Amino acid sequence: MQIKVSIVDDNEGIRSSLAALIRRAPTLKLLGEYPDAESAVKEIPTKVPDVVLMDINLPGMNGVECVRQLKIALPKLQVLMLTVYEDSDSLFNSFKAGASGYLLKRTASARLLEAIHEVNTGGSPMTPQLARRMVQFFNAPAKNPADPQISRLTPGEREFLEQLANGYAYKEIADRMKISIDTVRSYVRTVYEKLHVHSRTEAVVKFLRSEQSR
């Protein structure tokens, strides 16, 4: 089945270039292009794409808030941020809002197509430089005591979270834990609820912070 993709970017040239790239890919299907967050929030939930390519610096509502609102309407939606920004605040705010990947706009076309497939199967694609920033953040000295919410996880939920922290996609986690993909999705729901988080990155950050304080 084709992966259904929508684009949100206020730059007409970039938007058209991305649209042409997706149209040429036999495994992808373009559902819509939006120049601003307001139209995206209104229209995307009616079309239900699998993946959204999201710019951060949008006129009016920014891309991070757009992600947050779209994830409320479509919890299973995968969002891949495409931006010129490399700063840590944009990176972490995007993941906290519910984004699943973060790439720079100068990313090569082949890598972008690969990232769309990766994010659609539960991965979190990002550049090596941004991944290093994530590692540095995780390795920073813990400022808080162990999170008591982690202790409320069942052994299975904790093992799932460990696999998530190691960067495995949902299908890989199912294979490694010898469970079904439906069980993995169940773990996603229960772990997110118990940790009071809304994204993979928030869950991993809480887990790694807890591990550092042990």
The per-residue pLDDT for range 37-74, each reduced to its tens digit, is: 999 999 999 999 999 999 998 988 999 899 999 999 99
> Mean pLDDT over residues 140-157, rounded?
70
* 165-205 pLDDT per residue, tens: 776 778 888 999 999 989 998 998 899 899 888 777 778 77
Q: Record the pTM.
A: 0.67
Residue 83's DSSP bridge partners are 104
pLDDT in the model for residue 145: 47
Mean pLDDT value of segment 8-27: 96
Domains annotated on the chain, with CATH: 3-135 (3.40.50.2300), 141-212 (1.10.10.10)
pLDDT reported for residue 203: 81
Q: Comparing 146 with 123, which gets the higher pLDDT?
A: 123
Q: Cα–Cα distance between 26 and 11 in angstroms, integer?
A: 25
Q: What is the mean pLDDT of the segment spanning 23-31?
A: 97
Q: How confident is the model at residue 163 (pLDDT cuts 50, 70, 90)?
A: confident
**pLDDT band (50, 70, 90) for residue 125:** confident
Residue 23 φ then ψ, to 5°: -65, -30
Q: Is the pLDDT of residue 212 over 70?
A: no
Most confident of 5-14, 136-145, 153-162: 5-14
Residue 178 in 3-state DSSP?
Answer: coil
The answer, yes or no, to whether residue 161 has pLDDT greater than 90, is no
Q: Do 102 and 133 contact (CB within 8 A), yes or no?
A: no
Yes or no: say if 77 and 100 are a contact pair by the CB < 8 Å rule: no
Contacts of 189 (CB under 8 A, 6+ apart): none
Contacts of 18 (CB under 8 A, 6+ apart): 7, 9, 33, 53, 82
Average pLDDT, the chain: 86
Q: Is the pLDDT of residue 213 over 60?
A: no
- Report which of 157, 147, 122, 117 is spatially closest to residue 208, judged by C-alpha positions: 147
pLDDT at position 147: 57
Residue type, 62: N
144 pLDDT higher than 60: no
pLDDT confidence tier of residue 16, bands split at 50, 70 and 90? very high
> Which pLDDT does position 136 carry in this prediction?
66
